[in-house]
Structure 1
Amino acid sequence: MLGRLWRNRRERAEGIEILRKHEVSVLCVKGPELDLTTAAGRLLAGLLGEVDTFEVEQMSEREQREMRQRVERGLPPTGPRCFGYTADGAELVEDEAAEVKDCFHALLAGATFSGMAADLNERGILNRNGRPWSHNAIRGVLLNERYAGLRQYRGELYPGKWPVIVDEATWREAKHVLEDESRATSPGPARRWLLSGIARCGVCNDGTTVTSGSRGGPKGTRGLTTPLYRCRTTKHLARGTEPIDLTVEEYVIRRLSRPDAVDLLADETAPRTEELRAKTAALRSRISSLTDEFADDDDADAAEFKAATRRIKARLADIEAQMAHPQRTRILVDIVTAEEPTKAWKELTLDRQRAVVVTLATVTLLPGCAGRAPFDPRSVRIEPLQGMG
């Protein structure tokens, strides 16, 4: 009948009126002919359509009641199998559940989506569809309240009675990290070097960070390249990565091997988180206002605009460095509590090593000596963050 055509009341009324104006009739394969140019034909079309709408709404109400009952009884959600659980969602798949738990702990210890996905794929762990893991798939797992024994219904969370993989506090902490605006979440390849996007350019000296690159080897060494850290804005800084990374690694291991390193696990900056969030919001608002003013003012000086925004971004970077990792205990604990800190450092994945560096200090790269002068560690300025010295 008309159910497939006009289940929506508004669409049905609009459709009948349009067909009436154009003197079009409706011929049903099984049912009467509807002459919409007559009042009787329009009445019949409306009645038949209303019956179909009633059946659809009645089915929807029944499904909603059943859904509400499942929620109140604490039963698992229906639908596609959730990684870590059996098809009915009532039991754990132990090896998958262990991977899920590791992902939560890795995130809170500073790991990135790309790093976690690469690790799973390298070990041959496939997702629930039998495919390799991606950035978005990892994010979906970490935001899924089901792993904490919760389910969402009409915007509210309800407790479930299926086995949990992580406790609610861990899930909420992970959710807080993922919703932090200062966290970069765009998909992309995993970082290859310790300090790319972290270390700052000492020539710009305004918070501009360095990126990684390479240059060709000496003449006659075809195919050989040297990895570099370069300023991401101009060509005034290009430094070899290896001695710089070693210098920073030595600083990290030395700092976390000291007897007082355990004091770093007591995060005294946590109570200031809300204050720092307010400051970052105010600075972002200033940048937005400056951008609007520049766009509306035809006589605005581009150089002055760039200088002003760079200064604000430098302040923003300092504040974000203090609040980017409120879970610093999780980031540092594996090294601080290890019997051999050097070994513990080397066993961390690169993204977790990067998180340790960001948590401890600001690294600024200064220009190196010209020619073939030996590496000077003083050209790498390492400044401990507040409370990290």
Structure 2
Amino acid sequence: MTLFCKGATYERISKADEGDEDGVIRQGEDTSELAARREIPIDSRRFRDNDKSATHGKHRPDYERLMAAVRRDEVDVIIVYMLGRLWRNRRERAEGIETLRKHGVSVLCVKGPELDLTTASGRLLAGLLGEVDTFEVEQMSEREQREMRQRVERGAVPTGPRCFGYTADGAEVIDAEAAEVRKMHEALAAGATLSGIASEMNKRGILNRNGRPWTHNAVRFLLLNERYAALRDYHGTTYPGTWPAIISEDVWRQAVAILTDDSRKTSPGPARKWLLSGIARCGVCDDGTTVTSAQRGPKSSAKTGPDRLYKCRGPVKHLARNAEPMDQLIASTEPGEPLGIVLRIIEQYGSQLLVDEERPDMDELMAKAGTLRARLKNMTDAFADDDDSDALEFKAAVRRVKARLADVEEKMTHPARAAVLGDLVGSDDAVAAWDALPLDRKRAVVDMLMTITIYPAGPGRRAFDPRSVKVEPKILGHGVAE
């Protein structure tokens, strides 16, 4: 005759393929057989956690229900396949043993002894067996970590879900996706927002690796992923990989620097809708407080809809100005109308905008560039005046000088300015290039080139006065029309 009258069974398996319950089913058959052999009634007290690792602290709902039943004195013996299925970490084991001691609950193992946890010897044996289980798990974990570190040190391709831009095994590049990865990094460097990049990808019908539209966080994760530079981070150390890189390490590190900049807003949210939102300042606050955009309720007309406003963001709303004439002042490309200040700066100063004036060797670089340009001119003049000159030799010499000049000019260039302004400065048609930019890129250009301060228009309805908007260049020391 059995001494137990309130038995319960518990089964758990740590790893199981999706939908595969064969492991816990086998455990259940064995625990049920032991209960029948010992004539222990189980009734409905069966508890089962499938694919729940006790080692890594995963939530085990049925284990918690089992221990709740123990505390209600509804169980006097727990039947498990082996003790390691019940506890696999020290904290949980110590708490479990103490709970079972208080409520006089024993443990029966299909593969193992009977443990009377109301006795010191039973608790000692449970602790010793549990320590053996913990030792085996920790030793296996150490082996896996050492194997992982060896794979990383050897530059092996990472395992896991497919990475956008690579094949499923991670060893080869998918050219079309890789081109999109490069575009995303270029857009970020040029001032695009994460939401803007995601919106542009979705607009062109480019889906992520799961065939879904891009989100702010998905773009951020991709841009921060060192795998695209054929690198791998392991416990704070970066190792080179053997798979093909899609971007250079410098490009990846630039993306990390941009996205981890404390001054950058990184939280997901709606993208800015207007050119000067969050850029222009309130001239009354005069403390760097930016203005934001809004919409007036009543419609100005059936065609135009509600007027857009730039409003002071401070607690006291010092101003609410019609946004349209201000946007035109800064960025107009309307035929027959004066060009906006942005385009006038681009056309007037061109490549000068890219020069990094803060380089300590800038004077030396400018002198070298001047010398090389003069040399090119002299070579061209000499070739034109000498009928016996060898054209091939002339072209080869010109290529060498031009290559040296390009190297010097690259050193003179401010990387951030080149990323944001390069499309405009290097274009034969700056107006067309500006019109082709998405809004977040235009905003980055405006923010890099100038500080804009908006002042109240004055009482009553009046025509827009450009003098109520102050524009101060950030890059050039030259005056710019206000």
Give, in whole Å, the separation in 2 of the partners of 1:196 and 1:41.
Answer: 71
2:257 match: 176
- Determine the structure 1 residue equivalent to 2:97: 16
Does the C-alpha gap of structure 1 residues 220 and 188 become closer, same or farther in structure 2, counting only changes over 3 Å?
closer
Shift, 1:225, TM fit? 0.9
- Counterparts of 1:358-369 in structure 2 under 5 Å? 358-368=447-457
CA distance 1:102–1:23, change in 2 (3 Å): same
Q: 1:229 to 1:270 in 2, by over 3 A?
A: farther
Secondary structure in 2 matching 1:49: helix
Residue 253 of structure 1 corresponds to 343
Which aligned segments of 4 or more residues in structure 1 are displaced greater than 4 angstroms? 217-223, 369-372
Distance 1:113 1:248 in 2: 24
- Which residue identity lines up with residue 424 of structure 2 in the other structure? I
Name the structure, 1 or 2, with higher relative contact order (CA <8 Å, separation 6+).
1
**1:88-143: CA deviation from partner (whole Å, max 9, x where unpaired):** 11111211111111111111110000100111111111111222111111111111
- 2:436 maps to 347
Q: Deviations over 1:49-87 (max 9, x none)?
A: 233223322321232232122112211211111111111
Q: How does 1:186-201 map to 2 (within 5 A)?
A: 186-201=267-282
Distance, in Å, in 2 between the alignment partners of 1:44 and 1:97 is 58
Contact persistence 1:267–1:329 (CA under 8 A): no
* Pair 85,220 (structure 1): closer, same or farther in 2 beyond 3 Å: closer
* CA distance 1:220–1:176, shift in 2 (3 Å): closer
**Structure 1 residue matching 2:86: 3-state secondary structure:** coil
Residue of structure 2 equivalent to 1:7 = 88
Q: 1:266 aligns with which of 345, 351, 355?
A: 355
How far apart in 2 are the matches of 1:223 and 1:347? Answer: 23
Distance 1:196 1:37, change over 3 A: same
Give the letter aligned to residue 463 of structure 2.
P
Q: Which residue of structure 2 lines up, in the alignment, with residue 275 of structure 1?
A: none
Task: After superposition, give the CA deviation of every residue in 1:288-330 in whole Å (9 maximum; x if it has no partner).
Answer: xxxxxxxxxxxxxxxxxxxxxxxxxxxxxxxxxxxxx971221
Picking from 332, 354, 360, the partner of 2:421 is 332
- Tell me if the contact between 1:34 and 1:45 (Cα under 8 Å) persists in the aligned partners: yes
**d(CA) in 2 for partners of 1:221 and 1:235?**
28
Which residue of 2 is the match for residue 27 of structure 1?
108
Q: Which amino acid aligns with 1:66?
A: E
| Map of 1:161 onto structure 2 | 242
1:127 counterpart residue number: 208
How far the C-alpha of 1:178 sits from its partner, in A, is: 1.1
Q: Among residues 317, 337, 340, which one is paired with 1:235 in the alignment?
A: 317
Match of 2:148 in 1: 67
- Output the amino acid matched with 1:241: A
Separation in 2 of the partners of 1:172 and 1:57?
A: 36
Looking at structure 1, the residues matched to 109 and 350 of structure 2 have their Cα atoms a distance apart, in angstroms, of 80
1:78 equivalent in structure 2? 159
Q: Structure 1 counterpart of 2:190, which letter?
A: A
What fraction of aligned residue pairs are identical, expressed as a percent? 65
What is the identity, as a one-letter code, of the residue corresponding to 2:222? V
**Conserved? CA contact 2:300–2:307, under 8 Å:** no
Report if the CA contact (8 A) 1:85-1:92 is conserved.
yes
Shift of 1:372: 4.7
Q: What letter corresponds to residue 193 of structure 1 in structure 2?
A: W
Distance in 1 (alpha carbons) for counterparts of 2:304 and 2:433: 34
Q: Which runs of 5+ in 1 are unaligned?
A: 272-324
1: CA distance between counterparts of 2:304 and 2:279?
A: 28
Q: For residues 180 and 237 of structure 2, what CA distance do their matches in structure 1 show?
A: 27
1:381 matched residue in structure 2:
470
Question: How far apart are 1:261 and its partner, in Å?
Answer: 2.6
| Secondary structure of the structure 1 residue equivalent to 2:84 | coil
Match of 2:231 among 150, 156, 171: 150
Contact kept, 8 Å, 1:108 with 1:174, in 2: the verdict is: yes
- Contact 1:360–1:388 (CA<8 Å) still a contact in 2? no
Q: Which of these two proteins has the greater Rg computed from alpha carbons?
A: 2
Cα distance in 2 between the residues matched to 1:383 and 1:185: 27
Aligned residue in 2 for 1:93: 174
Q: Would the alpha carbon gap of residues 219 and 356 (structure 1) be closer, same or farther in structure 2, given more than 3 Å must change?
A: closer
- Aligned residue type for 1:367: P
Q: Deviations over 1:244-288 (max 9, x none)?
A: 111111111111112x431221223478xxxxxxxxxxxxxxxxx
Q: CA deviation at 1:333?
A: 1.0
Q: Does the C-alpha gap of structure 1 residues 269 and 241 become closer, same or farther in structure 2, counting only changes over 3 Å?
A: farther
Contact 2:83/2:112 (<8 A) preserved: no
| Residue deviations 1:213-243 (CA, integer Å, cap 9, x gap) | 1114468859931111111223331212121
Task: Name the aligned partner's letter for residue 2 of structure 1.
Answer: L
- Partners of 2:144 and 2:359 lie apart in 1 by 45
The CA distance in 2 between the partners of 1:140 and 1:388, in whole Å, is 39
